[in-house]
Amino acid sequence: MSGRWGRGVVGVVACGMALAGCGGGGGGAPRADPRPSADPRPSDAAPLVPAWQGGTRPVPRGEGGGAPGDVNGDGYRDLVLRIADGRAVVLHGSARGLDPGTRSPVPAKAAGATVGVPPGAEAADLDADGFGDLPVVLAQPDGRRAPGVVWGGPDGLGGAATRLPGLDGDAVDPVLGSGDFDGDGRADLAVGSDTRVEVRFGPVDRSSGRSAAVRPWIPPSASTGGPGCCMYALAGLSSADVNGDGADDLVVEPGSDGEQTASKLLLGTRSGRAAFPAAVHELPTGSGVVAGDFDGDGTDDLAVSDTGGRNGEGDPDALDTVLAPITLVTGVPGSTAAPRTRRVAGSRGLGGPAAADLDGDGADDLVAWHGADRDALRVRDLEGLAVLPGGPSGPDAADPSRIDALGPARRAGKRVPAHERPARILTGGDFGGPDQLVLGWGPGWTSDRWWFLSGPAATDGFTLSADRL
């Protein structure tokens, strides 16, 4: 409800990166309360043509409201859905929420390069023309990879794109994020490599790709050459205004070789761009970091969870570890002081969350994985998803409701193991109607079927499947 820049799931890729020990675990409470969720009720807007060929209805022409995530400027946040083979499509929001019949493909080629859409990508109005623009990775014919932008407009994302100045180390994909880090009402871009983060203050010039001003930040491990330096690319950049001062704060999630990591929180400031960051704080350890207003006080909070990733190299027993409880992080209003942290009671064994106000009470609810065994964390224990309702004291793990969203029992003639069937959490939030939760399932780390769920126990909504596309 309060997230001015939406609330993508920050940390889920960390699980994908972890070659061993990836998955949820624990979670006795959901098992004790096996309320099944009904099949989502189908929408009357089922897609009739492949997602990447566009929708069944024209994209509504917007007038340019500049709302976060809104590429066609009609005032409704839109969802960027990654499909497979590098393809992606924009599913447009509406007064009823995400509309599967109204969508536009993200161009596969632009600015002489192949367009890559990062996980969790969300549009932001980077040139301040009122239409959201999509930060992307542009793979050059010579193999170099540069940050870029595909520009939004009244009809959605067009083919126009601009290559942005690169960072050092252009062999790996730059990590991208956005927010309003100086609180001037205009979107800013965050670009990172493994050794450097830059906040590029908007607007971005469409022809040159240059920003109005740039503030670099060097991760401590990179400046000292210390542990963790320079071996693993940055895992993610996201934003939320956790101290409610009107300037978004930047969450920098370090890469790892499978372990859980502690992200850095760079506080934004309205005291001038040169003063960014106003302060830097370390968040609790946990590779799942998601923003939402879980206590309903009108200010963004962060939920930090253990995504289950472990580096089990040479020590398989290391994978049988306890999944840490979820920590709620709340900023000190109007202050640059370190945020407060509080363990969410009863959340041991729950991990990998997303946020959406499914029951519409003004406090975001937390959606997490749960497993069959609350003490040991093993991939094979992963069972499914649960909703922890938000409230004045934050997410409540005492009585979570389960979401039964499972992939197929068989695929390509082979049985799919039970622990590989639960859907993955992609994102959640406000797309114009009741808040929605977006789940995906597919081989590897892309999805070919999706759930778009709403309602207190996530029982309403629709599904999309690539099988029928």
> Which residues are at the interface with Ca ion (CB under 5 A)?
70, 72, 74, 76, 78, 93, 125, 127, 129, 131, 133, 241, 243, 245, 247, 249, 268, 293, 295, 297, 299, 301
Residues 6+ apart with CB under 8 A from 259: 309, 310, 311
Amino acid at 262: A
DSSP SS3 for 419: helix
Residues 6+ apart with CB under 8 A from 235: 11, 13, 14, 17, 175, 253, 254, 255, 256, 261, 287
Nearer to Ca ion, 158 or 228 (CB): 158
Closest approach of Ca ion to the CB of residue 400, in Å: 20
Nearer to Ca ion, 297 or 375 (CB): 297
Closest approach of Ca ion to the CB of residue 135, in Å: 11
Nearer to Ca ion, 92 or 378 (CB): 92
DSSP SS3 for 280: strand
How many CB atoms sit inside 10 A of residue 90's CB?
27
Cα separation, 78 vs 99, in Å, equals 9
Closest approach of Ca ion to the CB of residue 134, in Å: 10
Nearer to Ca ion, 296 or 346 (CB): 296
Going by C-alpha positions, the residue among 192, 150, 149 that lies closest to residue 167 is 192
Nearer to Ca ion, 91 or 423 (CB): 91
Nearer to Ca ion, 231 or 337 (CB): 337
Q: Are strands 197-204 and 211-217 parallel, antiparallel or unpaired?
A: antiparallel
Cα separation, 196 vs 193, in Å, equals 5
Are 93 and 70 within 8 A, CB to CB?
Answer: yes
Cα separation, 469 vs 455, in Å, equals 27
Cα separation, 315 vs 332, in Å, equals 41
Closest approach of Ca ion to the CB of residue 199, in Å: 13
Q: 204-234 burial string, b = 16+ CB within 10 Å, else e?
A: beeeebebbeebebebebbeeeeebbeebbb
Closest approach of Ca ion to the CB of residue 299, in Å: 4
Nearer to Ca ion, 125 or 396 (CB): 125
Nearer to Ca ion, 140 or 393 (CB): 393
Closest approach of Ca ion to the CB of residue 308, in Å: 26
Nearer to Ca ion, 115 or 323 (CB): 115
Are 169 and 194 within 8 A, CB to CB?
Answer: yes
Closest approach of Ca ion to the CB of residue 271, in Å: 11
Please give the structure tokens belonging to residue 365. Answer: 């609810």
Closest approach of Ca ion to the CB of residue 255, in Å: 25
Closest approach of Ca ion to the CB of residue 2, in Å: 7
Cα separation, 243 vs 465, in Å, equals 40
